Amino acid sequence: MAAFSIFNVAGSAMAAQSQRINAVASNMANADSVAGPDGKPYQARQVVFEYAPLARKANASLATANLAGGGLATQMASRSAGLGGVRVSSVELSDAPARQEYRPDHPLADEQGYVTFSNVDPVAEMVDMIAASKSYEANVEVFNTSKSLLRKTLTLGE
């Protein structure tokens, strides 16, 4: 039933935002981790969101038939469905330069005395976390509002 797909929409957004918060947690935990034995420091993870049209049986064949046509065709397919949630398309590694500190007495320092830390920017991560939690809250609100409206609809006429 169409009315219940709103839960899929809000639920997919909550899942995606919580994955974003997970990535932030991983990044923050590794903010001060040093390059391991392989010489590669931790790289900050970033989730990339993607619009995920709701799969409807009637439109599924249309969407796959149009896939070869490229961007416009998929746009039209999603327009006929019109609605959709969000999904995490990929988790990208940040290629920002790694932070280096001069610590000659550190056991993992290189010949010049520099220690390579992860490339995590803690301030940016905190901002990302706040944004993600606000988006999550908004979707919880959507979920709860829709739930109470549907519950009222179920008791229509009483």
Partner 1 sequence: MSFHQQALGLRAERQQVLATNIANADTPGYLARDIDFSATLAKATAGKAAPGPLALNTTQAGHQAASGAGLSLGADLLYRVPTQPSLDGNTVDMDVERVNFADNSLHYEASLELLTGKIQGLRLAMQSENS
Applying CB under 8 A, which residues contact partner 1?
A: 2-3, 5-6, 9-10, 12-13, 17, 20, 48-51, 79, 82-86, 131-132, 135, 138-139, 141-142, 145-146, 149, 152-153, 156-158
Pairwise CA distance, residues 85 & 89, whole Å: 12
How far, CA to CA in Å, does 117 sit from each of 3, 29, 39, 96? 50, 13, 10, 12
Nearer to partner 1, 13 or 120 (CB): 13
- C-beta of residue 112 within 8 angstroms of C-beta of residue 133: no
Nearer to partner 1, 82 or 113 (CB): 82
Torsion of CA 60, 62, 68, 71, to 10 degrees: -90
What is the nearest approach in angstroms of partner 1 to the Cβ of residue 59? Answer: 12
What is the nearest approach in angstroms of partner 1 to the Cβ of residue 127? Answer: 13
How far, CA to CA in Å, does 72 sit from each of 50, 78, 79, 88, 89? 16, 10, 10, 21, 19
Nearer to partner 1, 34 or 47 (CB): 47
Nearer to partner 1, 107 or 157 (CB): 157
What is the nearest approach in angstroms of partner 1 to the Cβ of residue 58? Answer: 8
